Chains A and B, each alone.
Chain A
Amino acid sequence: MANSLWGRLDDVQADAGYDGAHPPRMGFFTDTSVCIGCKACEVACKEWNEVPDDGYELSGMSYDNTQALGASTWRHVAFVEKPLETSAGKPLTTTDLGLPGMGPPGAMEGDDQGARSGDAGVRWLMSSDVCKHCTHAACLDVCPTGSLFRTEFGTVVVQPDICNGCGYCVPACPYGVIDLRKEDGRAFKCTLCYDRLKVDETPACAKACPTESIQFGELGELRERAHARVEQLHEQGVDVARLYGADPEDGVGGDGAFFLLLDEPEVYGLPPDPVVTTRDLGSIWKHVGAAAAAMTGLGVASFTSRRLVPRLLSTSLGRRR
């Protein structure tokens, strides 16, 4: 039972009650080092799942006008613009050394658009975020109606015909993925294309990704592939590459959709060390029980200690007088 609430759990479907013949756990490995920020995944997801628009707003902060995952945004491409820093921690700027080159003086960098537009020294990070389909999914655990359930593929899906829009899953998610659709009243999130998985199809986002930044497959195999990719990047000198959500020992028991990042998770808007809230469920109920007992005791004492409070007060006040 302890494993059902948090910690390592190797067969999440069996834990949810599927028999031994269930299919392998499927997931996403999103390799952000090859993401070009084209947003084909966002579009493909919207089209296939018939997800309504969530407003045409310009964020004004970057090319990211989608801004966050939500009830009507199941893939979100983050655009991080960060000034490059030298080893001394100073912003990196290019200097015109006045050396001979192509074109008029001052156009040293030639075709470098970045230098001309003032973008030199800025590093762009792009990452397509999605529901993590956690091993220990807080949204599923706190859902009071049983609308959220674990599929035979180990993914986490909302049943819209059962959801009553209580909203408990919304603050329970440590990643801020699931949300209520206001005009509809119910909660929605990525289904990892449950309908496509049932007919052996690749989810729409992975199918549409032109650079294979989004890779779909069996989770075990994806993890191996991801570790090999990190090693390859480290050999190439990209020592900032790290996996996020790939560790089955982490606070949510590992993610069904995990990532290769090139910076700290919080830079991409991801929590650095998420922990499923049910890890503390035992302690929470224990303290509720103790408080309920204390309240009962307090009620009993209110009737049995008839003269205790006034007596104590009058003696202490009397002494002061």
Chain B
Amino acid sequence: MSPKGGGGRGDRLMVPEAEFESYYGKQIIKTPTWKTPDVPLYLFLGGMAGGSALLAEGAALQGLPTLEKVARGAAAAGAGIGTVFLVHDLGRPERFLNMLRVFKPTSPLSVGSFILAPFSAFATAAFGSQVTGWFPRLGRLAGVGAAAFGPPLATYTAALFANTAVPIWHEGHRELPFVFGGSGAAAAGGVAMMLAPAAQSGPAVRMALAGAALDVGALEVMNRRLGMIAEPYEQGFSGRLMKTARALTGAGAGLSLLGALGKRGGKGRRSRVARVAAGAAYVAGSVTLRFGVFEAGLASARDPKYTVVPQKERLAAREAARAASAPS
């Protein structure tokens, strides 16, 4: 009856399974109770909306009205729909306003509520003003506000995941904000690439490309640093999601480069198809990435190995350091 742990997964392991003890193989920490698709979709929408607010403000400054309108619409819609998902995820949705009852820097969900609330207000006001033509100056001011709260909205969700006991989320806290920020920028660029005309989509193409590079690069750095803890990013259901996300983001980048290098400076029909397809691939990649990171967290919580083995190693290292420093 020795409750020894061990993997029964189908994936081939590059290193031998670590030996560890557990209570009948049961998990130690609790699995996050956050719902899917609510929370992964909220993460995607927050990232996309945050990036879009940036894009909209740049477009306004450079006089690209269609890009501005498209991006303002994406920011407002992302914030609005995202908020619905966030409220729906609560066990007691009618009490969602309790989120604004206190402000706690130790709770990224509290900080995030105070980012999401003003962002939604600003983004909605800016879009409304542009569509109706009412209060243009106040509308621009609201747009600046949304752009200021946009990047925090896209990245705070990394703190939300990292500030837990889930090993793969917590230990990856250095890179995860860059993954989410990059992915948000790629999604925002992708949405604008699909909806804005060629002549105005240049900044969106560049933003998506740079965001994709940041997202994929930060993920790579994180996986190398975490070692065994990062396994759920590479194995099982969550691993397949992460691989799909990377492939989609890569396809987006490839297609958009093809479109940019096409005939007549990217204004031909074929270039347009390539650009729309690239935008769709970026968006799909960003959505899939959030599902992958979410599912990886669930897998990391469910297997006691990820809780026990790193902690035993930490204890052993501390013991060794103590033994080395003790006078003999």
| Chain A residues engaging chain B, CB cutoff 8 angstroms | 5, 61-62, 67-68, 70, 78, 80-83, 122, 138, 141-147, 162-168, 170-180, 184-187, 264, 266-274, 277-278, 280-281, 283-285, 287-288, 290-296, 298-303, 305-306, 308-310, 313-314, 317
Contacts and interface: CB of A to CB of B under 8 A. Distances in A.
Interface in B193-246: 202-207, 209-211, 214
A141 B107 contact: yes
A273 B315 contact: yes
B170 A271 contact: no
Given A170-B31, A266-B22, 5 more contacts: A145-B99, A281-B163, A294-B214, A302-B189, A309-B205
A284 B180 CA distance: 13
Given A288-B156, A295-B185, A271 B28 contact: yes
Nearest to B95: A164
Interface of B: 1-3, 20-24, 26-34, 50-51, 54-55, 58, 61-62, 89-93, 95-96, 98-99, 101-102, 104-110, 113, 147, 150-152, 154-156, 158-160, 162-166, 169-170, 173-178, 180-182, 184-185, 189, 202-207, 209-211, 214, 257, 260-261, 297, 301, 304, 307-308, 311-312, 314-315
A286 B108 CA distance: 13
Given A171-B164, A271-B308, A266 B91 contact: no
A168 B107 contact: yes
B293 to A, nearest CB: 13
Nearest to B152: A292
Contacts of B62: 303
A203 B23 CA distance: 27
A164 B253 CA distance: 41
Contacts of A271: 28-29, 307-308, 311
B322 to A, nearest CB: 13
A283 B174 contact: yes
A145 B181 contact: no
A83 B1 contact: yes
9 smallest beta-carbon distances between A and B, as pairs = A165-B91, A185-B91, A269-B23, A291-B177, A299-B54, A164-B95, A292-B151, A144-B110, A302-B207
Given A145-B102, A271-B307, A292-B154, A302 B21 contact: no
Contacts of A164: 90-93, 95-96, 98-99
A267 B163 CA distance: 26
A184 to B, nearest CB: 7
Contacts of B28: 175-176, 266, 269-271
B177 A290 contact: yes
Nearest to B180: A291
Contacts of B92: 163-165, 185-186
A277 B307 CA distance: 13
B101 A162 contact: yes
A301 B210 CA distance: 9
Contact of A288 (B2, B158, B304, B308): B158
| Interface-central residue, A142, A145, A271, by most chain B CB under 10 Å | A145
11 contacts: A165-B91, A166-B90, A171-B166, A176-B165, A267-B22, A268-B23, A270-B28, A273-B312, A281-B105, A290-B178, A294-B178
Contacts, number: 269
A300 B209 CA distance: 14
Contact of A299 (B29, B55, B104): B55
A130 B169 CA distance: 26
Contacts of B169: 171
B58 A146 contact: no
A176 B27 contact: yes
B149 to A, nearest CB: 10
A292 B29 contact: no
A145 B98 contact: yes
B91 A172 contact: no
Contacts of B89: 166-167
A165 B20 CA distance: 34
A208 B91 CA distance: 33
B165 A138 contact: yes
Nearest to B186: A298
A299 B163 contact: no
Contact of B261 (A61, A78, A293, A313): A313
A126 B74 CA distance: 57
Given A165-B91, A172-B165, A273-B311, A302 B26 contact: no
Contacts of A266: 20-23, 28, 304, 308, 312
B155 A288 contact: yes
Given A142-B109, A145-B98, A299 B27 contact: no
A287 B173 contact: yes
Given A167-B33, A171-B164, A295-B51, A310 B260 contact: yes
A62 B165 contact: no
A61 B24 contact: yes
A267 B158 contact: no
B209 to A, nearest CB: 7
B27 to A, nearest CB: 7
Nearest to B25: A61
